[in-house]
Chain A
Amino acid sequence: MSAPLLLIGLAGLFAWAHWRTRRAGKNDRWAAHARRLAWVITTTLAVYTASFFLMRATPGGPFDGDRALAPEIEARLRARYQLDRPVWVQWWNSIDALARLDLGPSMVLREFTVQEILVQSLPTSLLVGTAAVAWMILIGLPLGLLAARRAGQWPDAAASLVAALGQSLPTFVLAGLLIPPLVFGLGWLPAAGLESPAGLVLPSLCLGLPYGAQLARLLRAGLINTLDQDFVRTARAKGLGEARVISRYALRGALVPAIAFLGPAIAGILTGSLVVENLFGIPGLGSHFVQGALSRDYPLALGLVTIYTLLISISTWICDLLLVALDPRIELG
């Protein structure tokens, strides 16, 4: 029985954080981390449970097909995957398995366990995601800086226009604009697939550009805000060059809203996007996420919900730590 152990451990973590805060004071770092970890686990369990019951409440099941299964066969399949037990028993058993880090067998791709599917698809999503993050920074950072430096002038308007377009164009439109010249016209890039590094360019660009545009807007706003502040004026008064003022002083403060946005953004990018994967034939997580839900593959869909929740929680956590490092006024809590 792993689930009770997990719950006891979780309660212990909360209790320890509480005890530590009382002993070491409100600003104790270890207490804050322990509490955060406990909340990450609690959130994941809560999201898992909500998704579990939502999925079971949705009509249809993993064994429905265009062709009906004979009742005898369906009964055997349901028994094999324990779907014949009461729902709360199934839920408890799956939480128990989750506590052992066992996400169970896929009910639709029956030759695979959910772990095996993750092992196949997560690296692909990470690869495309890393490239997309690179695009996001390559596009967002210069665009945001340019717009803030020339606020109110034409470069600002141009950069803002590009950012607004990048943010509002749906991925499939973006792909539709990029594919004809780059794939058919110049023939530089393959139409789909990840068979060569060139195959990475379009999907990661389509995935990263909207986030880059968002980053540029946040950076512009943050930078305009900080460039007005006293400590920047002091730095300028000391005779520092504009490049140094921005990189050393202003950017630090301007990054705060951008970093707060990066947490969920990176989780979103790394887990892939159904549209991008579908358009470019990328074997990543995103299509499994959607297909898992559509085909009522309960363990697959729930496993991916869990991974997604964990990724969001952890990347937000890391970003929070970065925020504390950037801005001493922010406290871990």
Chain B
Amino acid sequence: MEKRAVILTSLVLILGALLLGATFWSTEARADLTIANGPDPRSLDPALAQSTADLRVAASLFVGLVSPDPRTLEPRPALAKSWSASANGQSWTFQLRENLKWSDGTPLVAAEVVWSYLRFLDPGTGTRLGDLLDCVRGARHFRETGQGRDRVGIVAPDDRTLHFQLDRRTPYFLDVLGQPPLGVVPRHVIESRGLGWTRPEHFVSAGPYRLVTWRLRDRVRVQRNPLYFDAAGVAFDTVDFRAVENAATMLNLFITGGVDFATDVPPGAVPALLARYGASGTREFLPAPRLGTFFLRVNCRRPPFTNPKLRAALSYSIDREAIVSTVTRAGEPACRSFVPDGVRAGEVEYQSARTLSFDPGRAAELLSLGLAEEGLTQLPSFELLYSPEPGDQAIAELLQSRWASLGINCRLVGQDGASIRDALKRLDYTVARSSWLGDYNDPSTFLDQYRTGSPGNRTGWSSEVYDGLLARAASEADSARAATLKEAETHLLAQSPILPIYHYVSRNLVSQRLAGYFSNVMDWHPPSSLSEGTPR
């Protein structure tokens, strides 16, 4: 009796396990290209994409009017065949390609592109990147209030023509239009399916790929969209974006051939990886500068850091070279400015301020001046918020010891990302770690954040001089504008509401068999432009 029960139970367990297993192991064959994409995308809706992992998937499913060239980042024709701008740069006209179709065969006309942009701006959609289109007339008012939808300066006079009216000359307008969140989305599906429109069974897009499966924490599988305007130019038929959060797991998968492209590496493995897969090895790991900065925010409303001299003293006492050479180690440039090098400002290259340096003497001098102004003899101990990841913690400890040598005492407080963001939002912190990745290739994506009242500011810092310089730059031609922006950045760094530390580099591991991978500052490597190639 007992024996029978035991045998029965085991049989049921084994059968159950086999059945469960069958649901996994009957799955599709390996994709032609497998990318370890980092965490799960939070949404496949391009308007809701925010992390680089989300954007990478969005960029393969959707396409906008233009698309950045993976080598040069120059905007290339995508849905739009050609375009022209008026002499004052405020009026743009785009001609769509002929016979554009959605992946379900429905024709794609200009009115749907307009609808798509208005949906992006609509506060009901919930995008975080709405300010991308702030240069368009009436866009900001609509996205902030939900009023004036029909006064936004985007119209479609006919099925193949699109017209934009801008508030000001915007040298980076085409760069903005090429960003994945501005991929065009299908009105006919969204209006009938609501939030569920991104499900594989309903999914419709106009990009290089269409959605096959989305299993949380596992993968997003996409397949070539035969109705994409350049379907013949897409080399890989199926692509898997595997959700792999752990960088060590990504590395293991890459080494064993489980993935062709890994998007991060463990910080501790960087020197070994550079030796084995770097320039002198297989050339599969070639970190390259990208448009992003790791920095600290200082709460400028919390005494004594209301005093800019004390903030600057913190900045001058940061040994940025020591941080990049002992902690990050993948060739991250130590910050001399907030805006990284290699950024375009319209037709010219932006020359950043380059005023930051490690100068303990100057730091001590500013500290004593600042303390005297505040009537203090010693800087009160303050809290430095960091996130308890290995790299972050090491940086926080280096800062703490460096500051301690100047008599500046800080306590390290490790908090999870959500708590830090909440503290920043409520200005309830003294000094906190922060990061910023540029949205498009122009210094304004960095500098606009610190304008008075910008939601991205989060330092309580406000400067009429700074706001005035940014406003002046907005109306200037390229080279004068670049000079004014540099002046603004110099002012920002002197006032030190933010303390830039290092600029990010890409940390991709890319299999030798992939051709079409080019390092660029946006870390932009759309799968549709990758192909099987001879080893690099």
Residues of B within 8 A of A281 (CB): 218, 242-244, 246, 249, 253
Residue A239 at the chain B interface, CB threshold 8 Å:
no
B126:A73 contact, CB within 8 angstroms: yes
Interface string of A64-80 (1 = CB under 8 A from B): 11111111110011000
A283:B218 contact, CB within 8 angstroms: yes
Residue A257 at the chain B interface, CB threshold 8 Å:
no
A111:B198 contact, CB within 8 angstroms: yes
Q: Which residue of A lies closest to B421 (CB)?
A: A64
**Bound-complex Cα distance A65 to B143 (A):** 18
Q: Which residue of A lies closest to B143 (CB)?
A: A70
Residues of A within 8 A of B161 (CB): none
A287:B217 contact, CB within 8 angstroms: yes
Given A73-B126, A110-B43: A131 in contact with B17 (beta carbons within 8 A): yes
Interface string of A265-300 (1 = CB under 8 A from B): 000000000000111111110011000001110000
Residues of A within 8 A of B215 (CB): 120, 283
B17:A127 contact, CB within 8 angstroms: yes
Given A123-B20, A130-B20, A192-B244: A110 in contact with B418 (beta carbons within 8 A): no
Residue A229 at the chain B interface, CB threshold 8 Å:
no
B216:A121 contact, CB within 8 angstroms: yes
Residue A181 at the chain B interface, CB threshold 8 Å:
no
Residues of A within 8 A of B84 (CB): none
Q: Which residue of B lies closest to A192 (CB)?
A: B249
In the complex, identify which listed stretch (A14-22, A46-54, A138-146, A183-191) lies at the interface while the others stay far away: A183-191
Interface string of B1-33 (1 = CB under 8 A from A): 000000000000100110011011101001000
Residue B401 at the chain A interface, CB threshold 8 Å:
no
Residue B245 at the chain A interface, CB threshold 8 Å:
yes
**Bound-complex Cα distance A26 to B246 (A):** 54
Residues of A within 8 A of B246 (CB): 278-279, 281
The B-contacting residues of A in range 107-165, CB under 8 angstroms, are 108-112, 117, 120-121, 123-124, 126-127, 130-131, 134
B425:A68 contact, CB within 8 angstroms: yes
In the complex, identify which listed stretch (A33-41, A84-92, A193-201, A206-214) lies at the interface while the others stay far away: A193-201
Given A61-B422, A68-B455, A70-B143: A197 in contact with B21 (beta carbons within 8 A): yes
Interface string of B218-262 (1 = CB under 8 A from A): 100000000000000000000000111110110011011010000
A72:B144 contact, CB within 8 angstroms: yes
Residue B199 at the chain A interface, CB threshold 8 Å:
yes
Residue B40 at the chain A interface, CB threshold 8 Å:
yes
B417:A72 contact, CB within 8 angstroms: no
Tell me the smallest distance from the CB of A25 to a CB of chain B, in Å: 28
Residue A59 at the chain B interface, CB threshold 8 Å:
yes
Tell me the smallest distance from the CB of B436 to a CB of chain A, in Å: 8
Residue B130 at the chain A interface, CB threshold 8 Å:
yes
Tell me the smallest distance from the CB of B387 to a CB of chain A, in Å: 11
Residues of B within 8 A of A59 (CB): 418-419, 422-423
Residues of B within 8 A of A314 (CB): none
**Bound-complex Cα distance A179 to B256 (A):** 11
Residue B195 at the chain A interface, CB threshold 8 Å:
yes
B248:A193 contact, CB within 8 angstroms: no
Residues of B within 8 A of A130 (CB): 13, 16-17, 20
Residue B82 at the chain A interface, CB threshold 8 Å:
no
**Bound-complex Cα distance A117 to B215 (A):** 9
**Bound-complex Cα distance A123 to B21 (A):** 9
**Bound-complex Cα distance A195 to B40 (A):** 18
Pick the contact of B418 from A123, A190, A280, A294 — CB < 8 Å? A294
- Name the residue in B20, B146, B199 with the highest tally of chain A Cβ atoms < 10 Å from its Cβ: B20
**Bound-complex Cα distance A117 to B216 (A):** 7
Residues of A within 8 A of B258 (CB): 190-193
**Bound-complex Cα distance A30 to B425 (A):** 55
- Name the residue in B123, B144, B217 with the highest tally of chain A Cβ atoms < 10 Å from its Cβ: B217
**Bound-complex Cα distance A61 to B419 (A):** 9
Residue B431 at the chain A interface, CB threshold 8 Å:
no
Given A64-B425, A183-B256, A281-B243: A109 in contact with B124 (beta carbons within 8 A): no
A109:B252 contact, CB within 8 angstroms: no
B25:A109 contact, CB within 8 angstroms: no
Residues of A within 8 A of B24 (CB): 124, 127, 194-195
What's the interface size class on A, roughly?
35 or more
A279:B248 contact, CB within 8 angstroms: yes
Residue A60 at the chain B interface, CB threshold 8 Å:
yes
**Bound-complex Cα distance A5 to B50 (A):** 42
B199:A192 contact, CB within 8 angstroms: no
**Bound-complex Cα distance A127 to B196 (A):** 28
Q: Which residue of B lies closest to A127 (CB)?
A: B20
Q: Which residue of A lies closest to B51 (CB)?
A: A66
Tell me the smallest distance from the CB of A63 to a CB of chain B, in Å: 8
Residues of A within 8 A of B212 (CB): none
Q: Which residue of B lies closest to A126 (CB)?
A: B20
A109:B216 contact, CB within 8 angstroms: yes
B419:A60 contact, CB within 8 angstroms: yes
Residue B210 at the chain A interface, CB threshold 8 Å:
no
Residue B416 at the chain A interface, CB threshold 8 Å:
yes
Tell me the smallest distance from the CB of A72 to a CB of chain B, in Å: 4
Residues of B within 8 A of A70 (CB): 123, 130, 143-144, 455
A191:B253 contact, CB within 8 angstroms: yes
A68:B418 contact, CB within 8 angstroms: no
B418:A296 contact, CB within 8 angstroms: yes
Tell me the smallest distance from the CB of A182 to a CB of chain B, in Å: 11
Q: Which residue of A lies closest to B415 (CB)?
A: A59
Q: Which residue of A lies closest to B5 (CB)?
A: A325
Residue B506 at the chain A interface, CB threshold 8 Å:
no
Interface string of B442-474 (1 = CB under 8 A from A): 000000000000011010000000000000000
Tell me the smallest distance from the CB of B254 to a CB of chain A, in Å: 9
Residues of A within 8 A of B71 (CB): none
**Bound-complex Cα distance A71 to B126 (A):** 10
A73:B418 contact, CB within 8 angstroms: no
A112:B216 contact, CB within 8 angstroms: yes
A72:B145 contact, CB within 8 angstroms: yes
Q: Which residue of B lies closest to A282 (CB)?
A: B217
A287:B245 contact, CB within 8 angstroms: yes
A191:B42 contact, CB within 8 angstroms: no
Q: Which residue of B lies closest to A180 (CB)?
A: B252
Tell me the smallest distance from the CB of B10 to a CB of chain A, in Å: 9
Q: Which residue of B lies closest to A58 (CB)?
A: B419
Q: Which residue of B lies closest to A73 (CB)?
A: B123
B255:A283 contact, CB within 8 angstroms: no
Given A67-B50, A281-B243: A109 in contact with B13 (beta carbons within 8 A): no
The A-contacting residues of B in range 506-523, CB under 8 angstroms, are none
Tell me the smallest distance from the CB of A16 to a CB of chain B, in Å: 30
Residue B435 at the chain A interface, CB threshold 8 Å:
yes
Per CB-CB distance, the 3 closest pairs between chain A and chain B, nearest first, are: A68-B455, A283-B217, A191-B252
A-B contact pairs, 29 of them (CB 8 A): A60-B422, A64-B418, A66-B435, A68-B456, A69-B455, A70-B144, A72-B143, A72-B146, A73-B123, A76-B124, A111-B44, A111-B198, A120-B217, A126-B16, A126-B20, A127-B17, A184-B256, A190-B256, A191-B252, A192-B258, A193-B258, A194-B24, A195-B25, A195-B30, A196-B25, A279-B246, A281-B242, A281-B243, A281-B244
Residues of B within 8 A of A (CB): 13, 16-17, 20-21, 23-25, 27, 30, 40, 42-45, 48, 50, 123-124, 126-130, 143-146, 195-196, 198-199, 215-218, 242-246, 248-249, 252-253, 255-256, 258, 416-419, 421-423, 425, 435, 455-456, 458
**A73-B143, A278-B245, A279-B248 given. 16 additional CB < 8 A pairs?**
A60-B421, A66-B435, A72-B123, A72-B145, A73-B128, A76-B126, A109-B40, A111-B44, A121-B217, A191-B249, A191-B252, A279-B246, A279-B249, A281-B253, A283-B217, A283-B243
